[in-house]
Structure 1
Amino acid sequence: MSSLNDLLASQDALLREAALALPHEFSRCTFGMGPIKQAVYLCLTCATLHGICSSCSIACHTDHEQVELFPKRHFRCDCPTSAIPHHPCTLHQTTEEENGTNQYGQNFRGLFCRCARPYDPKTEQETMIQCLACEDWFHESCLNLRERPPPRESSPDLPDPGDTAAHEDDCSDASSDLPPPLISADDYDSFVCATCVSKVPTLRRYAGTKGVIMIVRDVARGSWKRLEGEPSAESQGSLDEPSLDVADPEAATTKRPRSRSSSQNDEREAKRTRLSESPLCLAPAVNHIAQAIFDNKTSGSKDSTHEGVGDIFLTEGFRERWCRCERCLPSLQANPYLLEEEDTYEPPEDPDSGFSLEELGARALERLPRDRAIDGIHAFNGMRDHLLECLRPFAQQGKIVEAADVTQFFEALKEKRHHVN
Structure 2
Amino acid sequence: MASSSIFDILATQSALVEEASEALPFQFTQCTYALGPIRQAVYLCTTCAVPRGICSACSVACHTDHEQIELFPKRNFRCDCPTRGLSHSCTLHTVLEVENAENTYGQNFKGLFCRCSRTYDAQTERETMIQCVACEDWFHESCLNLRDRPSSRDPTPQPAAEAIQEVDDDAASDASSSGLPPPLISGTSYDALVCRDCVKGIPTLKRYAGTPGALMVIRDSASDPWRVVGEEVLAETLRDVEVTDGDAHAATAGTKRPRSGSLDEVVQAKRPKEDTVQSETTKTSSLCLAPAPNDIVRDIVSSLDDSVHSPRGAGDVFLTEGWRERWCRCSQCLPSLESHPYLLEAEETHEPPEDPDSGLSLEELGMRALQRLPRDRAIDGIRAFNEMRDELMNHLRPFAQEGKEVTEADIRGFFEAKMAATK
User: Does the pair score TM above 0.5?
Assistant: yes
- Superposition map of 1:78-117 within 5 A: 78-85=80-87, 87-117=88-118
Distance 1:135 1:392 in 2: 60
**1:371 and 2:376 matched:** yes
Aligned-pair Cα RMSD in Å: 2.3
How high is the sequence identity, in percent, across the aligned residues?
63
Distance 1:176 1:11 in 2: 31
Residues 70, 138 of structure 1: CA spacing in aligned structure 2 closer, same or farther, 3 A cutoff? Answer: same
What is the one-letter code of the residue matched to 1:356?
A: S
What is the Cα deviation at residue 276 of structure 1? 7.0
Runs of 4+ in 1 over 6 A off after TM superposition: none
Distance 1:150 1:44 in 2: 30
Structure 1 residue aligned with 2:48: 46
**Aligned with 1:379: secondary structure?**
helix
Structure 2 residue aligned with 1:265: none
What is the one-letter code of the residue matched to 1:327?
A: Q
Structure 2 residue aligned with 1:205: 207
- Superposition map of 1:134-173 within 5 A: 134-151=135-152, 173=175
Deviates more, 1:194-203 or 1:406-415: 406-415
- Superposition map of 1:377-388 within 5 A: 377-388=382-393
What is the Cα deviation at residue 4 of structure 1? 2.8
What is the Cα deviation at residue 229 of structure 1? 6.8
What is the one-letter code of the residue matched to 1:90?
A: T
Is the contact between residue 39 and residue 71 of structure 1 (CA under 8 Å) also seen in structure 2?
yes
Q: Deviations over 1:229-263 (max 9, x none)?
A: 789xxxxxxxxxxxxxxxxxxxxxxxxxxxxxxxx
Larger radius of gyration: 1
**Aligned with 1:7: secondary structure?**
helix
**1:10 and 2:17 matched:** no
**Aligned with 2:86: secondary structure?**
coil
What is the one-letter code of the residue matched to 1:126?
A: E
What is the one-letter code of the residue matched to 2:209?
A: A
Residues 136, 368 of structure 1: CA spacing in aligned structure 2 closer, same or farther, 3 A cutoff? Answer: same
Among candidates 293, 298, 301, match of residue 291 of structure 1:
298
Distance 1:351 1:74 in 2: 29
What is the one-letter code of the residue matched to 1:318?
A: W
What is the Cα deviation at residue 5 of structure 1? 2.5
| TM-score (norm: length of structure 2) | 0.79
Structure 2 residue aligned with 1:314: 319
Among candidates 357, 366, 373, match of residue 362 of structure 2:
357
Q: Deviations over 1:257-277 (max 9, x none)?
A: xxxxxxxxxxxxxxxxxx976
Q: Deviations over 1:192-226 (max 9, x none)?
A: 00000010110111111111010001216420000
What is the Cα deviation at residue 71 of structure 1? 0.3
What is the Cα deviation at residue 113 of structure 1? 0.4
| TM-score (norm: length of structure 1) | 0.79
Structure 2: which 5+ runs fail to align? 154-173, 234-281
What is the Cα deviation at residue 174 of structure 1? 5.6
Structure 2 residue aligned with 1:61: 63
Is the contact between residue 125 and residue 150 of structure 1 (CA under 8 Å) also seen in structure 2?
no
Structure 2 residue aligned with 1:133: 134
Q: Deviations over 1:133-171 (max 9, x none)?
A: 11000000100001111449xxxxxxxxxxxxxxxxxxx
**Aligned with 2:18: secondary structure?**
helix
What is the Cα deviation at residue 111 of structure 1? 0.5
What is the Cα deviation at residue 400 of structure 1? 3.1
Structure 1 residue aligned with 2:171: none
What is the one-letter code of the residue matched to 1:83?
A: G
Residues 301, 373 of structure 1: CA spacing in aligned structure 2 closer, same or farther, 3 A cutoff? Answer: closer
**Aligned with 2:5: secondary structure?**
helix
- Count of residues in Structure 1 that have an aligned counterpart in Structure 2: 353
Structure 1 residue aligned with 2:179: 177
What is the one-letter code of the residue matched to 1:136?
A: D
Distance 1:223 1:185 in 2: 20
